[in-house]
Amino acid sequence: MSHAPLRFGLIGTGRIGQVHAASIAADPDAELAWIADPFVDGARTVAAAYGGTATDSSDELFASGEVDAILVASPTATHVDLIAQAVDAGIPVLCEKPIDLDIARVDALRAKVAAAGVPVALGFNRRFDPAFAAARARVAAGEIGALEQLTIISRDPSAPPSAYVAVSGGIFRDMTIHDVDMARFFLPEIVEVSAVGTTTFDPGAREHGDFDTAVTTLRAASGAVVTIINSRHSAVGYDQRLEAFGGTGMLQVANAPSSLVSLSTAAAVEAKPPYEQFFLERYAVAYAAELREFIKLARGEASTSPTFEDGRAALVLADAAQRAATERVVVAVDLG
């Protein structure tokens, strides 16, 4: 099965775009062919580090005829148009989450994507984390019997700047969206959403009517219940845990230890350094695995890449959580 490396067109060279550029450069089945960013210096820096042609125009990238796959890492507002453009061009696309903050725009694109048959994958990187993937595989293998409760704790190290909060779409669409996708990774059929959001510490959240603290509960068609516990900050560092509770056992995913060294003194024993890393470090392996799986998808091979429909479902659930938290209601959802 000898393939030429897949030639990638990368759109967007911010923090996450740089991660993807490095993954593409490191993968023997991929190469970085074109890099587009209106802030062309960003594109040029990436090209200098990892190869490829830099441009300030994604249209030029599409027109080059030299890309076999598109990776969209530009601002959220551009995602829908870029996916549409890739689909029209017949080029497989891996797009960062979310598809859009407006479900109407997502739904307007839905039929086109479904009809075109061009692979569209969504960047839910956590599905590719070895620990979460192993937990899910072991649940599927029946190690804990029927899955009854899924608990996800997901806390960022610190709240984003107020300016970011203003355009983020709110904690549910910006942060919880990852966790509802993780919920669907284990339990795809969610039928009901409840949520509580409060503002306990972040002036930015308060200023923009957002929450900094949230608990979301999802009811699955099977009767299983998912609990998602979010905070925009965590003094102990990036906090990413999961517990799958089943009829015959329980699988727990712990935080990655920041060090193998623990200290015991007369003041405290077995103390470890805090979890210092953030998602780029925590999920470094996951980003590479995500890319490899997308390469399979782009080549028409069997692939577990999350799809456009997964991206839409996550937004539907995030919207429902937002409504549940603000209107104090329980929201039935239909992801079909």
Q: How far apart are alpha carbons 229 and 152 in whole angstroms?
A: 6
Question: Between residues 117 and 265, which has the closer beta carbon with respect to its own copies?
Answer: 265
Question: Between residues 209 and 223, which has the closer beta carbon with respect to its own copies?
Answer: 223
At closest approach, how far in Å is the CB of 321 from its own copies? 12
Measured in residues, the chain has a length of 336
Contacts of 268 (CB under 8 A, 6+ apart): none
At closest approach, how far in Å is the CB of 123 from its own copies? 22
Question: Between residues 55 and 230, which has the closer beta carbon with respect to its own copies?
Answer: 230
Q: Assess contact for 197 and 326: CB atoms under 8 A.
A: yes
Radius of gyration of the chain (CA): 20
* 41: phi then psi, degrees, rounded to nearest 5: -60, -35
Question: Between residues 119 and 170, which has the closer beta carbon with respect to its own copies?
Answer: 170
At closest approach, how far in Å is the CB of 288 from its own copies? 15
Burial of 326 (0-12, 13-18, 19+ CB in 10 A): middle
Closest CA to 100 of 173, 170, 188: 173
Question: Between residues 37 and 179, which has the closer beta carbon with respect to its own copies?
Answer: 179
Element (H, E) at 79: helix 79-89
At closest approach, how far in Å is the CB of 74 from its own copies? 29
